[in-house]
Amino acid sequence: MTTFIRFAQKKVNEKYNLIDPQEDDTGHFNSRWRLRINVPEEDILSMSEKTS
């Protein structure tokens, strides 16, 4: 997992990206990953459970 995290961090750019680009440009910012969290946390957790 550490290797993947290092790889993913190298892909982070200057611009904040939306979790869901089809939703509104609202929500809180995650500075570590340069993401705008514009979907409910429950939806994100639900997606992660489906891939496990």
Count helices and strands (H / E) in the chain.
2, 3
Q: Which element (helix H / strand E) includes 14?
A: none
Rounded to an integer, the average pLDDT of 48-52 is 76
Given this model, what pLDDT does residue 36 score?
97
Given this model, what pLDDT does residue 52 score?
62
At 14-35, the pLDDT tens digits run 999 999 999 999 999 999 999 9
Confidence at 47, pLDDT banded by 50, 70, 90: confident
| Residue 10 predicted with pLDDT over 90 | yes
| AA letter at 12 | V
SS3 readout for 11-41: CCCCCCEECCCCCCCCCEEECCCCEEECCCH
Which residues have CB under 8 Å from 18's CB, separation 6+? 25, 35, 36, 38
